[in-house]
Structure 1
Amino acid sequence: MNNRAVRIAMVAGEASGDLLGAHLIAALKQRLPQVEFFGIGGPKMQALGFQSWYSQETLAVRGYAEVLRHFRKILSIRSALKRRLLANPPDIFIGVDAPDFNFGLEKPLKQNGIPCVHYVSPSIWAWRGQRIHRIGKVVSRILALFPFEPEIYEKQGIPVSYVGHPLADVLPLEDGRDEARELFGVPAQRPVFTLLPGSRQAEVQFMADAFVGAALKVIESLPDAEFFVPLATRETRLLFEAAMQRADARQLPVRLLFGHAHEAMAAADIVLVASGTATLEAALLKRPMVIVYKMAPVTYRIMRCMKGYLPYIGLPNILAGRFVVPEFIQDDATPENLAQALLNLYADRITCAGIAEVFREIHLQLRQNSAEKAAAAVLLHLPEHFLKPAVADTGHAAHAA
């Protein structure tokens, strides 16, 4: 066995990547006798000993217009990171999501003999399908979270392993609505709507006004309704509070929460949620939802022209293969439309029960012990002398993933 520690570089660009990265780090630590992790990561990864050389928040920007505003700083960080990794090469590089940043880093690393595993398939099935030709040149393997993704890569001859989603392993199969309401002290019959305008500042800037406006219209029809708004940071909270002030919504019965998104979703009758990982979380918690996608107009115009493989935006609909829950995109995401969709779902318990059953099936499909499968796939690209003797062959299971 090699006495040197395995050196693993990772870049996770936002909160969802931090969660995935943390689960993977924990699984790899179980399989490698000595290992060091470094690069860019968030608090969950750092809590497991990850050395983050730059702030993860710097990379958490969304859309073409938003990236352009931060382009010089992001490019500077990537250039510095590339120089540092090439000067002292890691044994493997793992890019966790953030494809626009990580692909530009993975290409030179792979060209210099460093294996590059990309964790989370880019959304080529939604748009920018042409990226698949670039992906094959810059990565050694894709770790796919969703069961429909491997076929897309296999057709292009790109190594891929289906690993499932760690949230499906962590979140319970059972509906936890009653327990969550007890936690918040909310009566069982009170209408509760949880609003999730996004974890990034750019998302909240584009979503907050429509979300507040929708809540004001819902309260007109359901005067006893209550609204939970979990927010990830102080900055996003300030942005949402500013939207409430603009709408003169100071009397709106809103609970602004720091974190506790899972509990807030579980307690809700219906969730209003920005498209992204939070839609999957809501689905795994079996909550009916209305999905919203808003961005800078120029970004949206560009993305509309991109070729994709599927007609849906929201992950729950993509995984179900049909429109299970409503989606409102860009100009259609008005307060009136969102409020009507929320009220329609609230009034239709039969439809909501059907949605919950579809989400349970999705949950079972994604529950794959994903951190272990992802770790096994990563180990395929490390020499066996780095591994603990008892698990030296476990990585071969990823061939069947």
Structure 2
Amino acid sequence: MTLVYIVAGEASGDVLGARLIAALRARRPDLEFAAIGGPRMAEQGVPSLFDYRELALMGLLEVLPKIFRLKRLLTDAAADVATRRPAVLVTIDSPGFTLRLAEMVKPIGIPIVHYVAPQVWAWRPGRVMKLRRKVDRILCLLPFEPIFFEAAGIPVTFVGHPVLESGADQGDAARFRAAHGLTDADRPIIVMPGSRRMEASRLLPVFGAALRIAAARLPGLRPVLPVAPIVAEAVRAAARDWPAAPILVDGLAAKHDAFAAVAASGGAGLIKSGTSSLEMAMAGIPHVVAYRVNPITAAIVRRLVKVPHASLVNLLAEREVVPERLQEDCTPEALAEALLAPMLDPAVAAAQRAGFAEALAHLRAPEGLPSQAAAEAVLRMLDQPAA
């Protein structure tokens, strides 16, 4: 039996793990799997050692009460890997947990592949040397990452970004409008304040104020919020005084239908910086990227950040395709102006969409879909002779 052990610490990693399992099985039906993951990997017939949601904590106040439980989960995971002795261990994103696990099991001699490179290239380049001692190969999502990690002596494979097979561009606009009773006068817009409580609580008030300004200039705006269950109640509370009742959607299919409805009606997006910018690009939705942290954190980040843009679309295009309104510039007035610009001026919308195509073209790996390229890289690790 050849066992592949896959570890993911949050929902996005669970999706990547499920796709990787399917792609590996398509090439090697004889493989067996063990996992720490969630429902998507369970759908592939691979149950989790424990509920991965126990790892989905952010911020000191959330972590401290559960620190001993988290340590126990880490110990249990390391013991399970050591007992099962897989042919390869694949850790996915969530470096706070997965790379600690990798460090604990590395002395056993199991090959370790880390899927989704930590963004040390953006603001912690000194940490790359520590990473070299924990993993044997990194599977990168972004085309400029291999040069950085290879320079530190870490083998790297660029596998492409999973947004390319996310289905973000495959939604059904008519189905969404019918499901939510939208009329021809309604102009849906996407609002994404983040999937973590701290992010959402900091951005929702300024987003609400921006929407009030925008609605006064362009009637009929209807905010649509794809939300994670963990922040749904906070969103509902913050949106009580918004100019139009927001539509909250849960689940991948509903989110992609919402994207299609916004794109078809000439809408736009008001989103937190992060992977959601790539989702907007896939769906063809012009948008503005926003972010705000406390002033002390902002001062520290400014000294550490080594990249010129917050949006991945802008980083890939090497220019500002979408407007970024960060920290002091993240004001209701600035956000409203940037949100409305592509809705009021077709040339602005067309320019953004042209930039999307340019950026997304950089995300395609040489070997098929991202999950297929990742599977090939893992199989090559399996085929390597033992050291």
TM-score (normalizing by structure 1): 0.85
Is 1:104 matched with 2:136?
no
1:174 CA drift (Å): 8.5
Corresponding residue to 2:112 among 105, 111, 116: 116
Taking the aligned partners of 1:166 and 1:192, their CA distance within structure 2 comes to 26
Tell me what 1:326 maps to. 323
Query: How has the CA–CA distance of structure 1 residues 290 and 90 changed in structure 2, closer, same or farther, with 3 Å as cutoff?
Result: same
Tell me what 1:81 maps to. 77
Query: How has the CA–CA distance of structure 1 residues 10 and 206 changed in structure 2, closer, same or farther, with 3 Å as cutoff?
Result: farther
Query: How has the CA–CA distance of structure 1 residues 76 and 174 changed in structure 2, closer, same or farther, with 3 Å as cutoff?
Result: closer
The one-letter amino acid paired with 2:335 is: L
Tell me what 1:48 maps to. 44
Tell me what 1:357 maps to. 354
Tell me what 1:239 maps to. 234
Taking the aligned partners of 1:210 and 1:56, their CA distance within structure 2 comes to 32
Taking the aligned partners of 2:33 and 2:379, their CA distance within structure 1 comes to 15
- The number of equivalent residue pairs is 376
1:67 CA drift (Å): 4.8
Taking the aligned partners of 1:299 and 1:87, their CA distance within structure 2 comes to 42
Is 1:257 matched with 2:249?
yes
Q: Which has the higher contact order (CA 8 A, sep 6+)?
A: 1
Is 1:337 matched with 2:331?
no
Q: Identity over the aligned pairs, expressed in percent?
A: 37
Is 1:285 matched with 2:283?
yes
Taking the aligned partners of 2:86 and 2:295, their CA distance within structure 1 comes to 40
Corresponding residue to 2:261 among 263, 267, 283: 267
- Contact kept, 8 Å, 2:171 with 2:257, in 1: the verdict is no
Q: Show structure 2 runs of 5+ residues with no match.
A: none
Q: Show structure 1 runs of 5+ residues with no match.
A: 386-401
Matches within 5 A, 1:156-305: 156-171=152-167, 186=182, 190-233=186-229, 235-245=230-240, 248-249=241-242, 252-259=244-251, 260-268=254-262, 269-295=267-293, 299-305=297-303
Taking the aligned partners of 2:89 and 2:52, their CA distance within structure 1 comes to 17
CA deviation vs aligned residue, 1:19-67 (integer Å, no higher than 9, x gap):
2111111101112233333332122122111221222222223456655
Taking the aligned partners of 1:304 and 1:74, their CA distance within structure 2 comes to 31
- Larger mean CA deviation between 198-207 and 169-178 belongs to 169-178
- Contact kept, 8 Å, 1:200 with 1:236, in 2: the verdict is yes
1:118 CA drift (Å): 0.6
Taking the aligned partners of 2:46 and 2:328, their CA distance within structure 1 comes to 41
1:145 CA drift (Å): 0.8
- Contact kept, 8 Å, 1:65 with 1:296, in 2: the verdict is no
- Contact kept, 8 Å, 1:265 with 1:271, in 2: the verdict is no
Tell me what 2:378 maps to. 378
1:8 CA drift (Å): 2.0
- Contact kept, 8 Å, 2:137 with 2:156, in 1: the verdict is yes
1:133 CA drift (Å): 1.3
- Larger mean CA deviation between 338-347 and 277-286 belongs to 338-347
The one-letter amino acid paired with 2:336 is: A
TM-score (normalizing by structure 2): 0.87
Tell me what 1:90 maps to. 86
Taking the aligned partners of 2:168 and 2:104, their CA distance within structure 1 comes to 41
1:144 CA drift (Å): 0.7
